[in-house]
Amino acid sequence: MDITIVEGDITEQQIDAIVDAANSSLTGGGGVDGAIHAAAGPELLSHCRALREEAWPDGLPPGEAAATPAGRLPATHVIHTVGPNRHAGETDPAVLTSCFRRSLEVAVEIDAVRVAFPAIGAGVYGWAGADVAEAARSALDEIAADTTGRFDALEEVRFVLFDGATAEAFRTAFAGGAR
């Protein structure tokens, strides 16, 4: 599997699936979540509402992931995952790692071979600054932990990061290897 790190707009990625740093309601919000919903159009919200009705009536819990069609995005699917909210006292890095693991598992379930991630939790959920490195390590740790081959079908995991500082934090974490 190729791991790439780019600075850019995740909504413009021509890829099998993009990961949405969603909120539990799956109805859109700020940051990456809002940008994805705006670019995908009303179809994405309709798919999210159906997902809530069918599978997650109480909302998608932190650390879990679920897929929908991507609406008007160039990607085929959106994988929604809810990161831990540090501002709400959710500081367990295992939940953040679960976001990456479950998103990768869902990518395999939907037959995606190329998936793009944002810096989950690094925006409004407060894993910014020095903690961006922790978000990057969580992603790397989960990819490195795959000794069973469950992610072998994935050809590329792309991290699409909104600014140079975040991209550099991910590059540094990846250059240093897993914790």
Q: Which sign does the torsion angle of CA 135, 137, 141, 144 carry?
A: positive
Strand order in the sheet with 114-117: 2-7, 156-161, 114-117, 17-22, 77-82, 65-69
Q: Residue 176 and residue 94: Cα distance in Å, rounded?
A: 20
**106, HSE (Cβ side, Cα atoms, 13 Å):** 26
Whether 88 contacts 28, CB under 8 Å: no
Q: Which sign does the torsion angle of CA 77, 7, 61, 138 carry?
A: positive
Residues recorded for the chain: 179
Residues catalogued as catalytic: 33
